[in-house]
A and B are shown apart, each in its own frame.
Chain A
Amino acid sequence: MKRALLIAGGTIGGLGAVLTITPPDFSGTTLVATDTPAPGQTESAVPPASFTGSVVTTRYGNVQVKITVENGKITDAQAVQVPTGSSDRYTQMSVPVLRERTIAAQSANIQAVSGASFTSYGWYTSLASAIAKAGL
């Protein structure tokens, strides 16, 4: 009995602690970043600047990538637009991976995520145009 209470207490405590720190966000899709106007579109500046690539239409929908550049390095890559609906799960899975690969590669020359080949294709095409805009 005492141990059952300990187990239940631990479960509630652990769950509660995590959810207090990072509650789930049901307000909007977490994948699509809010677009802020990019300050300079011709050359990179010392303060972080973001560059939005062109819209690429794929079989499942549009893909548009926005990169953040700091001191001539890509520090972040976000999806402004990604396919939604029936292929949502592929996107859910692929965007964080594509983001990691982009930051690691520092170029549009990255490997596609299997199961998300259309999103991947859209991603690096849009990414390439964003990199061109940033003048990297």
Chain B
Amino acid sequence: MRNASTIKYSSGAGVDWAALIAGLGLGLTVAMQVTSMSRADVSSVYAAITSFSRLCALVGTYFAVLGIFLIARIPFVERGVGHDRLVTWHRKLAPYSLFLIGFHVIFVVVGYAGQDQLPLYKELWAVLTTFYWMWAALGGFVLMVLAGVTSYKKARAKMSYETWWIIHIYTYAAVALSFMHQVLNGSMFVGHPLARLYWTGLYVLMGASVVYWRIGLPLVRSLHHNIKVDRVVVEGPGVVSVIMRGRKLHKLAAQGGQFFSWRFLEKGQLLVAHPYSLSAAPTEHYMRITVKDLGDHSRSLALLRVGTRVFVEGPYGAFTAGRASSPHVVLVGGGVGITPIRAIVEEFKNGVQMDVIFRASKEEDLVLREELDYLAANSDGTIRVHYLVGARKNHPMDARSLTKLVPSFADADIYICGPTPLVDSVRKAAQDVGVPKDKFHDEAFGYHTGNQ
């Protein structure tokens, strides 16, 4: 167990600043359009449509850039918000971005066609051929639509994570390709050096964040810590643990409850990184993940060769012991969702009373059970483990039965990782007994391995 004083907890103030700056950026973006408007913009309906299309483009692009910032793995944002919530925001923001940019494409052609009194197809051709960098912009738009379509729930379910991921990565190219047509043609940029400076600055900052935090830092860290597969252990039916060895791993400042994106440098696994929670608090030399057979990737983990080099991105996640404000915590794990729970148990400082509730449908699904029992037996009574095995109807996870199991449930901080129905019913139970929102901590990533 590491000394708690070395762990950095986010105060949340940084995230408040980030929110303020994000809002300010949106204001400046809208202002660029409004301030550069003239009588020509309101001289006819078509001119107004054209003007509106520019506003759509600006706000849509701003949202796209913001969406990239959200998933740029900026450490203080990751710690303050939590990676799962950032991904949720990213996912909610992205459709707005895509629709606004789609409106821009439609309205700009309609508006110009009306002003030039040309049929739409001729105007589309004219727009593509007369303005600067239009083919690049069109290419960017197509890539963005592809990323949007493949992220749509129904389409997403039909393809592998790897295919989706590669198409999604092209969004970076899409955002970059559209840049030149904006600053060279946009009436808010031509002849407005300050607007150009702001917009260029935004793009540079975005590019730098991605290159530094998503690519550079993980690469340097992975090489520096020299992480390699040490052992692969089968924990139960379809559940494997991968134990990795590296040097000075404590310098990564990872805590039990957090996760990394793991990329095993082996044929067929190079391209894609997968998020898995640590299943034990990391030590100076070892880290461990425990993965259930959920997809192609997790199945192939059992076949990993000893000595395979591992590239990591992380640590990510706000599922950390430092977020608890009560002397008593209830930790709920559903199935393989127990893994971050098992890891976070080691992170609570002496004196914190822990009730671990392990929910599984079958006895054999109680992975890492021996370790939990061992930790409980050596905890001087601070850790109690409750196993709830069987059908869902035999173990309703409502306020009544949870309070019966853990009498001080209402006064505790609640940590949960497991299937969505379990998380939802425990969340409702917590609300029913009046647990405030900021004392309920859930981690979607530890459970939905690979399926973001």
Contact = CB atoms under 8 A, between A and B. Distances in A.
Nearest to B190: A96
A11 to B, nearest CB: 4
B24 A26 contact: no
Contact of B19 (A3, A22, A29): A3
A15 B22 contact: no
A14 B47 contact: no
A11 B30 contact: yes
Given A14-B27, A86-B115, A92 B40 contact: yes
Interface residues on B, range: 35 or more
B112 interface: yes
A114 to B, nearest CB: 7
B223 interface: no
Contact of B130 (A13, A28, A90): A90
Nearest to A21: B35
B130 to A, nearest CB: 4
A24 B35 contact: yes
B166 to A, nearest CB: 32
A16 B27 contact: yes
B190 A88 contact: no
Contacts of B28: 14-15, 18
Interface string A1-44: 01100111111111111110011111111110000000000000
Which of B32, B43, B112 is most buried by chain A, counting CB atoms within 10 A of its CB? Answer: B43
A96 B186 CA distance: 12
A11 B115 contact: no
Contact of A7 (B22, B38, B41, B116): B22
Contacts of A135: none
A25 B16 CA distance: 35
B205 interface: no
Nearest to A3: B19
Interface string B33-68: 011111111110001001000000000000000000
Contact of A89 (B15, B35, B50): B50
A8 B47 contact: no
A86 B23 contact: no
B25 interface: yes
Contacts of B452: none
B234 interface: no
B117 interface: yes
A64 B16 CA distance: 53
B21 A88 contact: no
Main secondary structure of the interface of B (DSSP, over half): helix
B436 interface: no
B187 A15 contact: no
Interface string B130-146: 11100000000000000
Contacts of B34: 15, 18-19, 24
Which of A6, A30, A100 is most buried by chain B, counting CB atoms within 10 A of its CB? Answer: A6
Interface in B119-168: 130-132
Given A15-B28, A16-B27, A29 B38 contact: yes
Contacts of A9: 20, 23
Given A10-B20, A12-B27, A88 B47 contact: yes
A28 B112 CA distance: 21
A52 B441 CA distance: 72
A134 to B, nearest CB: 24
Contacts of B15: 3
Given A18-B27, A18-B35, 18 more contacts: A2-B16, A6-B19, A6-B20, A12-B27, A13-B24, A14-B25, A14-B27, A14-B28, A16-B27, A17-B27, A24-B36, A86-B116, A86-B117, A92-B187, A96-B191, A97-B191, A100-B191, A114-B132
19 contacts: A6-B23, A7-B19, A7-B20, A7-B26, A11-B30, A15-B27, A16-B27, A18-B28, A22-B35, A24-B37, A25-B38, A25-B39, A26-B42, A28-B39, A29-B39, A29-B40, A87-B116, A92-B40, A96-B191
Enumerate the 9 nearest inter-chain pairs by beta-carbon distance, A residue then B residue, closest first. Answer: A14-B27, A10-B23, A96-B191, A115-B130, A18-B31, A7-B23, A10-B24, A15-B27, A11-B27
